[in-house]
A and B are shown apart, each in its own frame.
Chain A
Amino acid sequence: MKTVLITGADRGIGFAMAERFLRGGWRVFAGQYMPQWKELEALKEKYPQQLTTVALDVSSIDSVRAAAAQIAQQTDTLDMLLSSAGIALDDTPKDIRKMISVNSIAAIRLTQTLLPLMENGEKRLCYVSSEAGSITTTQRDASGRYGMVCGYGLSKGILNMAVRQMFAQLRPKGFRFRLYNPGWVQSYIDGPLMQTFKYTASETAEVAFQRFTADRDWEDVLALVDIDDQAWSF
């Protein structure tokens, strides 16, 4: 059975990803940050042999290491890292730091820590980004118009560069990358569920599952691709 670690699996996009990968027959290690959300526990009852919850705060290198150690006790190989955890806070310096820590640097923490476990697997590195991180096209402004703070876009732009750096380093070693723009998803990133947005978490997770698990002819290219298969300029 193929194995995947999905971060931010408590709810929203991460939870939907976990559900989809379980249905697809994968062994899922679900990063759990909010144990008070019971959906993951309910999913565990449905997939007792496939789903393992792992306490994971992606903003903490100690937590990432502990999670990696726990996973290593249960599998020799991790085939995929799916970095989905994300937050959107206010634009105070403290909140911007938190957003950079979770949305940007976490990708590096996770990848570096899990690399040894991934060396003999399918070597798939998947990161959930956003059109907010497209410097070329974003319409967000510093006043936080469009309902999204500017710090979120800053953090996703930095994420895109972080993934680019890792791509340059790891693609020659056979790792395959996916940088995904999930679209405007009904998620909890802003607190309450954003019900007016275009896509459900399940819809974006379905597309992600198809893309992340399949090979493609252009693995030597890193592109930010959205749910509608459109590439976004950085």
Chain B
Amino acid sequence: MNHSVLFLAIDSPIALKCAQQMAADGDHVYFVTPNGKIDGSTDGIEVVPADVYEPIAAEKIAKGVFDREGRIDILIYAASGTLEGKKEATEELLDRVEYNVNCCRNFVEGAIPYMKQGGLQRIAMLSDRAGSITMCREPAEDPVDPLTQAGLHMLLRVYFNQLRKLGFTFRCYTSEADDEQKLYLTPSRYVNMKFSYDPDSPSIRNEEDRLVMRNPEFREISW
């Protein structure tokens, strides 16, 4: 594909798999992760250990990738986490959720000025099955994940509202299958997928003008 991909992953099991697939497809993947620990192969992936809680750190990384590649085509963020019992549960929950939300927001904000200069201009989020408020039936054992996903879904929405009219396109993928062999739609395939869009078309439906979350079976999942 030869895209330049800037990827933020915070405790997300699916993120590395997506990055691996994109690298195997020929994309130049810069994988930003706070602690730098990677549990898996990093062939073809440039790992960037960095904590982007401070906006300036995120900006610096985006600039570095832009200077090296000449563009940032795709920006992906994925964050999750668990409570570790180090402090009062509600306070640890606040720490984890706001850290995830602020890091992802800083990451997007840092990259936008460079993405506006050209390239594919795609922003994607990797979510998971806990992220749908509408579809939630059972309480999660650990609240960090569902609360984080809800915040990050809203983050994607506000950026969609701001940037879609400038030509940016958006993807939100939620993993549901436990068995990877059954995945019809892998995260990398979905992130790279083209949707129907023709600004001159007389028809009303242009898929790029809708922000939706889809699962590996290409089904839309309500927020």
Interface positions of A (Cβ within 8 A of B): 61, 93, 96-97, 100-101, 104-105, 108-109, 112, 133, 135-136, 138-143, 145, 150, 153-155, 157-158, 160-162, 164-166, 168-169, 233-234
Given known contacts A61-B88, A141-B161, A142-B161, A153 and B102 CB-to-CB distance under 8 angstroms: no
B133 touches A160 (CB 8 A): yes
Partner of A142, one of B134, B139, B162, B222: B162
> B98 contacts the other chain (Cβ, under 8 Å)?
yes
Distance, CA A157 to CA B163, complexed state (A): 20
- Determine, out of B18-26, B148-156, B198-206, the stretch whose residues face the partner at the interface: B148-156
Q: Which partner residue on chain A sits nearest B159 by CB separation?
A: A142
A141 touches B158 (CB 8 A): yes
Given known contacts A161-B146, A234-B134, A97 and B139 CB-to-CB distance under 8 angstroms: no
Distance, CA A233 to CA B220, complexed state (A): 14
B interface residues, how many (CB within 8 angstroms): 40
Max chain B CB contacts within 10 Å: which of A136, A155, A157, A166? Answer: A157
Distance, CA A164 to CA B136, complexed state (A): 7
A233 touches B154 (CB 8 A): no
Partner of A157, one of B90, B137, B143, B151: B151
Q: Which partner residue on chain A sits nearest B165 by CB separation?
A: A141
| Cβ < 8 Å to A, chain B residues 119-161 | 133-134, 136-140, 143, 146-147, 149-151, 153-155, 157-159, 161
For the complex, would chain B's binding face be called helix, strand, loop or mixed by DSSP majority? helix
Given known contacts A154-B155, A168-B139, A233-B223, A112 and B150 CB-to-CB distance under 8 angstroms: no
Distance, CA A142 to CA B98, complexed state (A): 17
Distance, CA A52 to CA B152, complexed state (A): 39
Given known contacts A97-B94, A158-B151, A169-B139, A234 and B133 CB-to-CB distance under 8 angstroms: yes
CB distance from B184 to the nearest CB of A (A): 25
Residues of B within 8 A of A93 (CB): 53-55, 98, 102, 105-106
> B97 contacts the other chain (Cβ, under 8 Å)?
yes
B94 touches A100 (CB 8 A): yes
Given known contacts A93-B55, A100-B98, A108-B93, A135 and B223 CB-to-CB distance under 8 angstroms: yes
Interface positions of B (Cβ within 8 A of A): 53-55, 88, 90-91, 93-94, 97-98, 101-102, 105-106, 108-109, 133-134, 136-140, 143, 146-147, 149-151, 153-155, 157-159, 161-163, 222-223
A161 touches B159 (CB 8 A): no
Given known contacts A96-B101, A164-B136, A233-B222, A153 and B158 CB-to-CB distance under 8 angstroms: yes
Residues of B within 8 A of A142 (CB): 108-109, 155, 158-159, 161-163
Partner of B158, one of A109, A150, A158, A233: A150
B90 touches A108 (CB 8 A): yes
Residues of A within 8 A of B154 (CB): 133, 135, 138, 153-154, 157-158
A165 touches B140 (CB 8 A): yes
Given known contacts A105-B94, A133-B154, A161 and B147 CB-to-CB distance under 8 angstroms: yes
A135 touches B136 (CB 8 A): no
Q: Which partner residue on chain A sits nearest B93 by CB separation?
A: A105
A140 touches B147 (CB 8 A): no
Given known contacts A105-B90, A141-B161, A154 and B101 CB-to-CB distance under 8 angstroms: yes
A161 touches B150 (CB 8 A): yes
Max chain A CB contacts within 10 Å: which of B94, B97, B143, B150? Answer: B150
Besides the known contacts A93-B98, A109-B90, A153-B154, 16 further A-B residue pairs in the complex with CB atoms under 8 A apart: A61-B90, A93-B55, A108-B93, A143-B162, A150-B158, A157-B154, A161-B133, A161-B147, A161-B150, A162-B143, A164-B136, A165-B139, A165-B143, A165-B146, A169-B139, A234-B222
